[in-house]
């Protein structure tokens, strides 16, 4: 099936929040902290502005608790006198003219008595930097399996490595934006978001309003990638506060620079590996420490850290594993959800480390992976028994075959010895990603969904899951149509509106097709039962039965309902981090071929092959697009995307200086699926959104290592960083 809203997007008719027709409204603007940490001593309003024209909101205007509530209450909606990061919101302004509002923001001076900021998450903070608990540790987590100390002591070979990753900005093409207005006494919030019920939760807390008094509606959303998971709650709160005070509709749209410097990013990380192996390459012990920069507020950091440590040992079997995870408070702009959610950092380290181990053992990195790849019946670091029947080695073999791995390696060997400055290499990464919320997370979410039978026999899916480009509208249409035997045109997906749709959980964590999609199917079943039909009847009969039901029940609504039920046999021990972390894992292999130019130290990706098991592929075009887009973001994270920091402020908050790839920077990304259906996912689907990003960076860097003989350990591997790896001299036979 073609993307349902595709034509509307291709012709420019799709209306995003900033496109909605609106009259007599105010433009909102945000005044932010100039300093990373300190007490606000004064706020000076400049002389050149007629401030009586403005609506001005500060923290005293917040009727409820001053927090952007999701997991914790620590992050204020507006700084109440003390700031903890640069660009922290302090004041809100609104004015009929956007230009005047923008100029006014510059005329407000926030004077901060600066305290020393904690800016390096890698070093332990001195006493004057402590701002969270006793040691600035936002969260500590650990996983234990077997006896790592003894196993390391007994290992004939021990390989250490430290791997670092930088912050990554989402760069969704549509920036953050919200519209707020009062409809009688109901505060209506419309905007760009992944999770309407997260926004509702934050608004209820800060505005002291009930579910009935707030209505959150998602507008078509121009990309999210996690960046519109928790942050839109902040924007919605700000727009809402301005609308409540002014009693006039308020539109708050971030410009690109504000969006880049002030919103969440992927957590920077430093991962340390100490691995014991035998001479044949079998893993004996894995000791791992994952340290993340959490930034100035908790946001979703504990869960990001959790996903990181659960995946940190890679898709391998090892009897002795110890993983320690730590997220540090710093006075940086808070880090938050980003596609992969901690797992890309974990896999960058372990997959780079596997190649370092192979290099040490003078072993083929492919062979090292083959030996250790987890097999059915073996267990992950948390002790979860993997028995999903996925042919993990087959996935690797297929990726190598598609990439013509062996032949390329031989060609590179010859070519590299002949060319003066171009070096080619090919690299592999094997990886996995748990779909859905971790552990008992899905049970706690308690997702609900409805499929309504309409009087004319058509059906509508009611859920809070959102379309942000990934294809939710199309997939849910397909699932409902297939389940009921309907023509897809007779299925509609309701606008996500908290006054109309039940909470089917957030649109995050690769859970939508697999988990919520399953609810679509079950709600369809329930609907059919409610009109007295068996499962295997043609759609025309269902349609007739729905019409008949309405004739018999005039004015009533016909709702098929479903509520999340955990798959049988899943057991998770949150306290000890043991057991079944995820209902299902997606498995994959990437092969990257690169060319390094030793004149400029520029790395160009020549070819990229991805073989993915995401369970049943529900829609080939959409699925392929998810993989290609995820890979592109991963390649870009590996090579291009660098946040340049200065005293806690991002200095390169423009698309000219924060570099994402153009069409000229990426190769065609070749995708193939190997389908191992998951019994409890919709039509056998597993998660897809995050998996492809996870292994891209290590595949690229492993290829660079193969090309250059150097072992890069840090991303982004900019040409400047690669040059540093070559130091002053070049080895004999290499380009000088």
Partner 1 sequence: MSGGRHDPIRISFTLNGETTTVEVAPTERLLDLLRYRLGLTGTKEGCAEGECGACTIYLDGLPVDSCLIPAYQVRGRVVETIESLDPEGMAHYHARGTTQCGACTPGVVMTAEWILRHPDRLETHTVRELMAGNLCRCTGYDGIIEGIEGALEDREAE
Partner 2 sequence: MSVLLPGSLAEALETLAADPELVPMAGGTDLLVHWPQHTELHLHSYLDLSGVEELRPHRWEADELVLGGLTTYWDMIEDRRAWSELPLLIDAARQVGSIQIQTRGSWAGNIVNASPAADGVPVLMAYDAVVVLESTRGRSMVPLSEFYSGYKEMRRSPDELVTEIRVPRRAYDIQFFEKVGSRRSQAITKVGVAVTRSDAGWRVVANSVAPFVCRCPAVERILEEGAAVRGPGDLLPAIREDVAPIDDIRSTAEYRENVLARILYFDLLDLCPSFG
Contact footprint for partner 1 (CB under 8 A): 2-3, 5-16, 18-19, 21, 99, 170-175, 220-225, 255-256, 468-471, 621-622, 624-625, 628-633, 654-656, 660-664, 666, 668-669
String of DSSP letters for 227-253? TTTSHHHHHHHHHHHHHHHHSS-EEEE
Are residues 91 and 57 in contact, defined by beta-carbon separation less than 8 angstroms? yes
Pick the closest to residue 512 from 599, 426, 445, 608 (CA basis): 445
262: three-class secondary structure by DSSP: helix
Choosing from 602, 620, 679, 731, the residue that interacts with partner 2 (CB under 8 A) is 602
String of DSSP letters for 431-500? EEEEESSSTTHHHHHT-EEEEEEPTTS-EEEE-S---SSS-HHHHHHHHHHHHHT--GGGEEE---BTTT
Q: Which is nearer to partner 1, 107 or 665 (CB)?
A: 665
710 in contact with partner 2 (CB under 8 A): no
Considering CB distances under 5 to 8 angstroms, the limit depending on partner class, which of partner 2, partner 1, none binds residue 7?
partner 1
Q: Which is nearer to partner 1, 19 or 647 (CB)?
A: 19
421 in contact with partner 2 (CB under 8 A): yes
Shortest Å, Cβ 115 to partner 1: 34
Residue 299 class from Cβ within 10 Å (0-12 exposed, 13-18 middle, 19+ buried)? Answer: buried
Q: Which is nearer to partner 2, 193 or 603 (CB)?
A: 603
Choosing from 52, 60, 414, 420, the residue that interacts with partner 2 (CB under 8 A) is 420
* C-alpha–C-alpha distance, residues 358 and 515, integer Å: 38
Considering CB distances under 5 to 8 angstroms, the limit depending on partner class, which of partner 1, partner 2, none binds residue 6?
partner 1
530 in contact with partner 2 (CB under 8 A): no
Degrees (nearest 5) of the Cα angle 105, 111, 116? Answer: 125
Mask of contacts with partner 2, 256-295, x by CB under 8 A? -x--------------------------------------
Phi-psi region of 281 (alpha: psi -120 to 50; beta: other; left: phi over 0): left
| Site size for partner 2 (CB under 8 A) | 34
604 in contact with partner 2 (CB under 8 A): yes
Please count the other Cβ atoms lying within 10 Å of the Cβ belonging to residue 650: 23
Q: Which is nearer to partner 2, 363 or 606 (CB)?
A: 606
Strand partners, 379: 385
Shortest Å, Cβ 663 to partner 2: 8
Considering CB distances under 5 to 8 angstroms, the limit depending on partner class, which of partner 2, partner 1, none binds residue 640?
partner 2
Q: How far is CA 155 from CA 82, 356, 707, in A?
A: 51, 17, 30
Site for partner 2 in 101-120 (CB under 8 A): 102-103, 106
Mask of contacts with partner 2, 40-79, x by CB under 8 A? ----------------------------------------
Considering CB distances under 5 to 8 angstroms, the limit depending on partner class, which of partner 2, partner 1, none binds residue 643?
none
Tell me 707's DSSP state.
H
Choosing from 600, 620, 679, 731, the residue that interacts with partner 2 (CB under 8 A) is 600
Q: How far is CA 55 from CA 27, 206, 242, in A?
A: 10, 19, 7
- CB under 8 Å to 256, separation ≥6 — which residues? 175, 653, 654, 655
Site of interaction with partner 2 (CB under 8 A): 98-99, 102-103, 106, 255, 257, 420-421, 598-602, 604, 640, 644, 651-652, 654, 656-657, 659, 661-665, 718-720, 723, 735-736
């Amino acid at each position: 099936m073609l993307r349902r809203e595709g034509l509307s997007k291709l012709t420019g008719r799709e209306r995003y929040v900033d496109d909605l027709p609106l009259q007599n409204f105010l433009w909102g603007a945000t005044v932010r902290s100039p300093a990373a940490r300190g007490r606000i001593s004064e706020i000076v309003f400049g002389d050149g502005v007629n401030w009586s024209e403005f609506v001005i909101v500060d923290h005293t205007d917040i009727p409820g608790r001053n927090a952007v509530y999701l997991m914790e209450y620590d992050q204020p909606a507006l700084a109440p006198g003390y700031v903890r990061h640069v660009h922290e919101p302090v004041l809100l302004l609104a004015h009929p003219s956007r230009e005047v509002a923008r100029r006014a923001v510059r005329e407000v001076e926030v004077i901060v008595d600066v305290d020393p900021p904690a800016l390096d998450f890698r070093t332990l903070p001195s006493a004057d930097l402590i701002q969270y608990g006793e040691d600035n540790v936002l969260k500590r987590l650990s996983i234990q399996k077997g006896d790592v100390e003894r196993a390391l002591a007994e290992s004939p070979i021990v390989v250490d490595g430290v791997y670092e990753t930088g912050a990554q900005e989402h760069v969704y093409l549509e920036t953050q934006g919200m519209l707020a207005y009062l409809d009688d006494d109901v505060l209506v919030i419309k905007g760009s978001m992944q999770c309407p019920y997260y926004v509702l939760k934050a608004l209820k807390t800060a505005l002291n309003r009930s579910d009935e008094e707030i209505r959150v509606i998602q507008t078509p959303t121009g990309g999210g990638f996690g960046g519109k998971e928790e942050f839109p709650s902040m924007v919605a709160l700000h727009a809402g506060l301005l609308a409540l005070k002014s009693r006039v509709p308020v539109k708050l749209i971030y410009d690109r620079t504000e969006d880049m410097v002030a919103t969440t990013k992927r957590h920077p990380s430093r991962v340390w590996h100490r691995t014991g192996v035998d001479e044949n390459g079998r893993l004996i012990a894995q000791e791992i420490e994952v340290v993340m920069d959490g930034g100035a507020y908790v946001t979703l950091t504990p869960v990001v850290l959790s996903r990181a440590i659960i995946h940190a040992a890679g898709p391998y079997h090892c009897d002795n594993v110890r993983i320690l995870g730590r997220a540090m408070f710093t006075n940086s702009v808070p880090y938050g959800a980003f596609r992969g959610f901690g797992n890309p950092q974990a896999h960058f380290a372990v997959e780079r480390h596997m190649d370092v181990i192979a290099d040490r053992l003078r072993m083929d990195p492919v062979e090292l992976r083959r030996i250790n790849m987890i097999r059915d019946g073996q267990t992950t670091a948390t002790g979860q028994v993997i028995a999903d029947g996925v042919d993990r080695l087959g996935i690797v073999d297929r990726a190598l075959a598609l990439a013509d791995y062996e032949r390329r390696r031989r060609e590179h060997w010859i070519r590299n010895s002949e060319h003066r400055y171009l070096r080619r290499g090919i690299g592999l990464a094997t990886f996995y990603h748990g779909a859905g919320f971790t552990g008992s997370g899905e049970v706690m979410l308690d997702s609900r969904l409805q499929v309504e039978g309409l009087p004319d026999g058509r059906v509508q899916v009611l859920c809070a899951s959102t379309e942000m480009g990934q294809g939710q509208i199309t997939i849910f249409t397909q699932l409902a149509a297939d389940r009921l035997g309907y023509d897809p045109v007779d299925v509609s997906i309701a606008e996500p509106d908290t006054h109309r749709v039940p909470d089917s959980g957030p649109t995050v964590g690769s859970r939508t097709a697999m988990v919520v999609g399953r609810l679509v199917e079950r709600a369809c079943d329930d609907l059919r039962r409610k009109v007295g039909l068996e499962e295997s009847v043609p759609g025309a009969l269902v349609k007739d039965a729905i019409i008949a039901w309405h004739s018999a029940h005039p004015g009533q609504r016909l709702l098929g309902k479903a509520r999340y039920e955990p798959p049988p046999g899943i057991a998770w021990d949150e306290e000890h981090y043991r057991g079944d972390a995820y209902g299902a894992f997606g498995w994959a292999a990437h092969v990257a071929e690169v060319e390094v130019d030793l004149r400029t130290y520029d790395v160009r990706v020549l070819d990229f092959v991805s073989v993915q098991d995401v369970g049943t592929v529900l829609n080939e075009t959409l699925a392929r697009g998810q993989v290609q887009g995820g890979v592109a973001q991963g390649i870009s994270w590996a090579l291009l995307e660098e946040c340049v920091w200065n005293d806690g402020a991002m200095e390169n908050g423009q698309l000219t200086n924060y570099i994402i790839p153009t069409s000229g920077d990426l190769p065609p990304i070749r995708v193939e699926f190997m389908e191992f259906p998951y019994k409890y996912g919709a039509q056998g689907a597993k998660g897809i959104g995050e998996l492809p990003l996870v292994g891209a960076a290590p595949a690229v860097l492993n290829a660079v290592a193969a090309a250059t003989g150097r072992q890069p350990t840090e991303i982004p591997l900019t040409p400047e960083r690669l040059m540093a790896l070559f130091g002053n001299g070049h080895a004999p036979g290499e380009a000088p």
